[in-house]
Amino acid sequence: MATLGMHRDFLMEFAALEKPVQKRVFEVFEKFATATHAGLHLEKLTHQKDPRLRTIRINDFWRGVVLKAESGDSYLLLKVLPHDKANDWAAKHRASVNEATQGIEMRNDVGLERATAGLRARAAEEPSRLFPASEYPDKVLRSLGVDEEILPIIRLVPDETHLEALHKVLPEQQYDVLLGLATGMEPAEIDREIVQAYARAAPRSADASEGDELAAAMARSRGRVALVSGTEELQEILERPFDVWRVFLHPSQYRVAYQDSYAGPARVTGGPGTGKTVVALHRAYHLARRLPADAPDGCVLLTTYTKDLAAELERCLALLVTDPAVRAKIRVVNVDALANETVRAERGGAPLKLVFDQKEITARWARIARRVEADFTDVFLDQEWRHVVLAQALTTPEEYLKAPRTGRGSALGPLKRLKVWRAVAAFEEQLRQAGEWTFLQVCAEAARVMGGREERPFRHVVVDEAQDLHPAQWRFLRSLVSPGPDDLFLAGDTYQRIYGNRVSLRSLGIQVVGRSHRLRVNYRTTQEILAWSASLLTGEEPDDMDGAKESLAGYRSTMHGERPETSAHAAKTEETAALVSRVEKWIASEVEAEHIGIAVRFVQFGRDIAQALERAGIAACVLGAGRSGPGVRIGTMHRMKGLEFRCVAVAGVNDGTVPMKAAVTPVEVDAQQHQEDLNSELSLLFVSCTRAREALRVSWHGEPSPFLAPVTGPRP
Ligand SMILES: Nc1ncnc2c1ncn2[C@@H]1O[C@H](COP(=O)(O)OP(=O)(O)OP(=O)(O)O)[C@@H](O)[C@H]1O
């Protein structure tokens, strides 16, 4: 039987085609999927580097490029391009099999010849080398799959910029390896994270027809080549070509998501845009698919911090999981909503009266502080309650007296602790008498309720945005599933912690040691935006929720674009006007309004910007809980979490606004908390900037935020 593979580039090019052309492409390639090759005219070129590359007519303007096996009946759909470009591409490229991973890779032979001549000329004058043989012996490079043809070329490369210039001509897998080395990864690490990832991702040999080398190499090229098993599957993939992540996982993503089973809790970390959410979705799918036939519906939980993020997970899951029976096994709901449901059910079903306005909560603490004559501020008491009392589920003054106060900067002797406890008891009593709850109390209660039950409602729990969850929420999640293989799977990035919730997974009974994986390739943002945004992170590296430090080492993007733009203004009106004209330019360059995002620290400034855009005739929508609409998306920095846009403007990044004064504990109240709050504010800015796919613009009025010092320079 014929084997049909589809290259990632093919799908991406297909996505950009107009609908009637897409239809025609499908008709042409359907013949490959059905193995009725009659009527296929695969054309050879007269001068070409690889005689196995053929082109096929789609219509008068478009052609496809296909790799046809010399023996056997295998085809790889590589490109779909305008006529001349397709011929040119097919003439210059050559397919080969990577020596370390045995996967297929394409190289631009003509481009390589040209680049080598350029590098030779330069090398005669320039002594510096990125990969000197003394540091990277041939043997080491060969073991990582760098082949005999490429070795002499890369010896000439003087620096990273020149290596990046070879991106389009080098075989992709070899480029990945070399970039990894250039960004400071050790050969052993590269072997583990890149080479072995590809090798391990290779499916069983049964997937490839015997004796058909191309089929076997395609089967070993996960992440770049998807094997298509028939018309239906071809149609299914081509129906949603934009969602490349459904079909092509990077091997490092694949091996985490599709590891058959983990002996206990496992997690995936990585910088923004590395596909942690994508991995969480695939993991939920994998777990649901391998359930025994009698497993009840909804026994895999896919959860996250907010309702909006859960809605987004639900939308993506519908794209990934097309089998209704498998989809029914997965329940998607945010942690707070599930906790609320649990407590409500326990209490007979009546809705819980929730207090969620932080201003109202702080005002209550202020009144209590005055009443108990404690010399603590409202902010201090509120934080002590959340970060110590609720975090450790303390219910008596004795427990509180003995409790560690990790993460809190001010020492409290027994007398002071008793005073705090009086305030806490008064606050909780007030809530109790009014029949009111805060979200965290609901989670704490839900954990208690669930902990007392015999039955666990879920077999597997998959958590996205894990860095933002509070210990009370973790205890609740822990109580939802019996400890054991594949109980919990976590995805998160502590560089993006924006709600100030620090946890030690270990102390919550969640051991991920030996089952923690880091992703490094960013799929969302250009390298320029990534490097610029990461340069703002001048503070200490955050913890990794498991006793070690998190790191962005090796974090990179293979996409390139414009450097982010900064824009300084004297007044708010001026900044707004300049922003409107920037948005007009983006729209004039064919970016749809819905693909433009504007992040602000205060929602009021967002409303002002929306009005200014509307006055200029541009539709705008200020995002709120569950609220979205047509036009440019404007939201607070918190609201930006989990979203992405082609173009992002972060506005009002002023001194005094970012960090927002009211969100930062005064240093004299608690120095450690002060630093934590600053970290959260910096993370907010980092999260906002890294939502951009192609263009980022950061503006301010008055003095710039001190967080921008790495890019604006110190103040005069
Ligand atoms: N293997 C892949 N192929 C193509 N696109 C991918 C792949 N993995 C992820 N993406 C895309 O990259 C973008 C970022 O992915 P995702 O949201 O999963 O990253 P993340 O690590 O969760 O990001 P963040 O932490 O910033 O929220 C999305 O547009 C996603 O579709």
Q: pLDDT at position 374, please?
A: 66
Q: How confident is the model at residue 662 (pLDDT cuts 50, 70, 90)?
A: confident
Count of structural domains, the chain: 5
Mean pLDDT of 101-111: 92
Mean pLDDT of 301-309: 93
- Quick one: 213 and 328 in the same domain? no
Highest mean pLDDT among 164-178, 213-227, 541-555 belongs to 164-178
Token pair of 83 as six digits: 């006529």
In whole angstroms, give the CA distance from residue 391 to residue 471.
5
- Quick one: 389 and 240 in the same domain? no
Strand ranges in 536-652 using DSSP code E only, listed in sequence order: 556-557, 565-569, 596-600, 620-622, 632-636, 645-650
Q: Given a cut of 50, is residue 208 above it in pLDDT?
A: no
Residue 676: inside a domain: yes
Is 531 exposed, middle or buried (CB count within 10 Å of its CB: 0-12, 13-18, 19+)?
middle
pLDDT tens for 424-440 read 999 999 999 999 999 99
CATH no. for residue 309? 3.40.50.300
Q: pLDDT at position 206, please?
A: 41
Strand ranges in 183-341 using DSSP code E only, listed in sequence order: 225-228, 266-270, 300-303, 330-332
Strand ranges in 35-179 using DSSP code E only, listed in sequence order: 53-57, 62-68, 74-82, 93-97, 104-108
Which atom of ligand 1 is the closest one to the Cα of 244? 4
pLDDT tens for 75-102 read 899 999 999 999 999 999 999 999 998 8
What ipTM does the predicted assembly reach?
Answer: 0.99
Which atom of ligand 1 is the closest one to the Cα of 223? 1
Task: Calculate how far, in angstroms, residue 283's C-alpha sits from the geometric centre of ligand 1.
Answer: 14
Nearest residue (CA) to ligand 1, atom 24? 272
- Quick one: 650 and 589 in the same domain? yes
Angle at 329 between CA 324 and CA 334, to 5 degrees: 110
Residue 41: inside a domain: yes
- Quick one: 185 and 112 in the same domain? yes
In this structure, the strands spanning 93-97 and 104-108 are antiparallel
- Mutating to test ligand 1, I would choose from 242, 523, 552 the residue with most ligand atoms within 8 A of its C-beta, which is 523
- Mutating to test ligand 1, I would choose from 6, 240, 245, 533 the residue with most ligand atoms within 8 A of its C-beta, which is 245
- Quick one: 255 and 232 in the same domain? no
Q: Which of these ranges, 186-200, 303-317, 628-642, has the smallest mean pLDDT?
A: 186-200
In whole angstroms, give the CA distance from residue 33 to residue 388.
60
Q: Supply the mean pLDDT for the chain.
A: 89
In whole angstroms, give the CA distance from residue 218 to residue 230.
16
- Quick one: 147 and 281 in the same domain? no
- Quick one: 207 and 196 in the same domain? no
Percent above pLDDT 90 for the chain: 58
Nearest to 368 by CA among 377, 359, 355, 357: 377
- Quick one: 696 and 595 in the same domain? yes
- Quick one: 600 and 651 in the same domain? yes
51 is in an annotated binding site: no
Q: Give the dihedral sign, CA 126/127/128/129.
A: positive
- Quick one: 576 and 673 in the same domain? yes
Residue 706 CB-half CA count within 13 A: 9
Mean pLDDT of 548-576: 87
Q: Given a cut of 70, is residue 245 above it in pLDDT?
A: yes
Q: pLDDT at position 204, please?
A: 44
Residue 649: inside a domain: yes
Nearest residue (CA) to ligand 1, atom 25? 272
Percent above pLDDT 70 for the chain: 95
362 is in an annotated binding site: no
Task: Calculate how far, in angstroms, residue 125's C-alpha sits from the geometric centre of ligand 1.
Answer: 42
526 is in an annotated binding site: no
Mean pLDDT of 47-61: 92
Strand ranges in 277-350 using DSSP code E only, listed in sequence order: 300-303, 330-332
Nearest residue (CA) to ligand 1, atom 31? 245
Rg over CA atoms, the chain: 28
In whole angstroms, give the CA distance from residue 74 to residue 67.
8
Answer for the pair 528, 558: CB distance below 8 angstroms, yes or no: no
CATH no. for residue 217? 3.30.2310.20
Residue 291: inside a domain: yes
Nearest residue (CA) to ligand 1, atom 12? 523
Mean pLDDT of 595-621: 96
Task: List the 565-569 sheet strands across, edge first.
Answer: 565-569, 692-701, 645-650, 596-600, 632-636, 620-622
624 is in an annotated binding site: no
Q: Given a cut of 50, is residue 456 above it in pLDDT?
A: yes
pLDDT tens for 395-454 read 999 999 999 887 787 778 888 899 999 999 999 999 999 999 999 999 999 999 999 999
Residue 258: inside a domain: yes
Q: pLDDT at position 550, please?
A: 73
Q: Given a cut of 80, is residue 201 above it in pLDDT?
A: no
Residue 350: inside a domain: no
Nearest residue (CA) to ligand 1, atom 4? 245
Last residue of a domain, one of 201, 236, 270: 201
129 C-beta neighbours (distance < 10 Å), count: 17
Task: Calculate how far, in angstroms, residue 563's C-alpha sits from the geometric centre of ligand 1.
Answer: 21
In this structure, the strands spanning 62-68 and 74-82 are antiparallel
Q: Where do the H-state alpha helices sit in 660-708? A: 671-689
Which atom of ligand 1 is the closest one to the Cα of 249? 1
Residues touching ligand 1 (Cβ under 6 Å) are 244-245, 248-250, 253, 270, 272-278, 493, 496, 523-524, 642, 644, 690
- Quick one: 149 and 272 in the same domain? no
Give residue 177's domain range.
Answer: 104-201
Task: Calculate how far, in angstroms, residue 242's C-alpha sits from the geometric centre of ligand 1.
Answer: 12
- Quick one: 267 and 338 in the same domain? yes
Residue 529: inside a domain: no
Residue 80: inside a domain: yes
In whole angstroms, give the CA distance from residue 314 to residue 399.
41
276 is in an annotated binding site: yes
